[in-house]
Structure 1
Amino acid sequence: MADIFQVHEAARIRTGKYAGMVGTVTETRTDDAGKQTGVRVKMDGVFNGEPMTAHVWVKRSSVERNHGA
């Protein structure tokens, strides 16, 4: 069974500029076959010592469940 993210779930970014940041899933994308390909995550917090807010699309393979929350 595939691991599918739902809107309002917490997700941790695994790769890229925001690696390690945790946010809330606000939207998802699927391909024609119904496979989840992208997740939009909204993050609020501190990044590199500065307050930040970001709302970014990332590949489904670049996020994981936030087990620390």
Structure 2
Amino acid sequence: MNSLAVSIAEKSPVALEVAKESIRVASRMGIDVGIDNEVELFIRLFTTVGKDKGIDAFFEGFDTQWKRR
């Protein structure tokens, strides 16, 4: 399997869902509306159950097991 695909698949399912949504709608928006949309999607990630776990993993450089919540 492609190493990029494996790396992406190991990320938070919620963050991946938000990233896919952002990509999906970006082509239908102007740049200003697109940036506002990305900000809203990013803020949504900070309301998730795994927020603290994800932040810790990012800053401390460790991998984590993600659960769909």
TM-score w.r.t. structure 1 length? 0.20
More strand by share: 1
TM-score w.r.t. structure 2 length? 0.20
More helix by share: 2
